[in-house]
Amino acid sequence: MAEPVEIPATEPLHGYQLRVVQEVLLALLAGEASHGYQLRARLALALGPLAGALNDGQVYVTLNRLEKSGLLASTRVGQADRPDRKVYELTPSGRARVATWLNDTSWPKPAPAEFHLKLVAAAAAGLADPVGIVDRQRRELLTGLAQAQRAALAEPNGSVAALLLEGVVLRLQADLRWLEACARYWNQAKER
């Protein structure tokens, strides 16, 4: 995958989430030229209750950066009773970037190795009861699951954001099942 646009480390929008916003904005512009407000509205609709993750300036800041790095071009369009607005369109290198993104198969890493190692280390050092750590983590994930599920149930039928929430719920469920396995293992380890 192409390098994401460089962002200073102090920028509050960083890592995973910013890169996704960049790629999504580029992809949305592949169909037709558009302006920031419209793009933001489309993102908000797709994210539904998760749209809180998008702060107001993020779309505009990102569009600016993408333009500076030559992936977008803009033209100013006059409006009768308001300031001019910028209409963005993809450049050829922006188009290439979208194609790369669509073909990319990278995926969030499925191995919960950090948590696993935390349990192993806690047990080995006699620092803490691994089962207690598992229980605490489980409470955390269950609280998250409860919230995600309420949000999912509140979505109307056919909502595209509900599909995203279903993904959140299913992943948390899978994590919780693994935590059950952790609890089982470390409980038995105590008896050995």
Partner 1 sequence: MEDRAPNPILSATGLRKEYGKGAALVRAVDDVGLAVRPGESVAIVGPSGCGKSTLLYLLGGLERPTAGAIELAGQPIHDIAESALARLRRRALGFVFQAFHLVDELTALENVELPALLAGASPRAARARARELLQQVDLEDRAEHLPSALSGGQCQRVAIARALANAPLLVLADEPTGNLDSAATTEVLRLFDQLRATGQTLITVTHDSRVAATADRLITMRDGAFVDETRLTGGTSRSLSQITGLGS
Smallest gap, in angstroms, from Cβ of residue 83 to partner 1?
28
Closer of 153 and 189 to partner 1 (Cβ) = 153
User: What is the chain written as a DSSP string?
Assistant: -PPPPP--TT-SS-HHHHHHHHHHHHHHHHHS-EEHHHHHHHHHHHHGGGGGGS-HHHHHHHHHHHHHTTSEEEEEE--SSS--EEEEEE-HHHHHHHHHHHH---------HHHHHHHHHHHHHT-S-HHHHHHHHHHHHHHHHHHHHHHHHHSPTT-HHHHHHHHHHHHHHHHHHHHHHHHHHHHHHHH-
By CB under 8 A, which span of 68-76, 81-89, 98-106, 165-173 interacts with partner 1? 165-173
By CB under 8 A, which span of 35-43, 98-106, 118-126, 164-172 interacts with partner 1? 164-172
By CB under 8 A, which span of 35-43, 59-67, 117-125, 133-141 interacts with partner 1? 133-141
Count of positions on this chain that bind partner 1 (CB under 8 A): 35
Tell me how crowded residue 128 is: count the other CB atoms within 10 A of its CB.
14
* Selected binder of partner 1 within 41, 55, 117, 121 (CB under 8 A): 55
Closer of 17 and 75 to partner 1 (Cβ) = 17
Site for partner 1 in 84-123 (CB under 8 A): none
* Selected binder of partner 1 within 5, 7, 13, 30 (CB under 8 A): 13
Residue 150 contacts partner 1 per CB under 8 A: yes
Tell me how crowded residue 137 is: count the other CB atoms within 10 A of its CB.
19
The residue behind tokens 């302006």 is 35
* Selected binder of partner 1 within 36, 49, 94, 130 (CB under 8 A): 49
Smallest gap, in angstroms, from Cβ of residue 159 to partner 1?
13
Distance CA 87, CA 33 (A): 6
User: Applying CB under 8 A, which residues contact partner 1?
Assistant: 12-14, 16-17, 47, 49-50, 52-53, 55, 135, 138-139, 142-151, 153, 168-169, 172-173, 176-177, 180, 183-184, 187
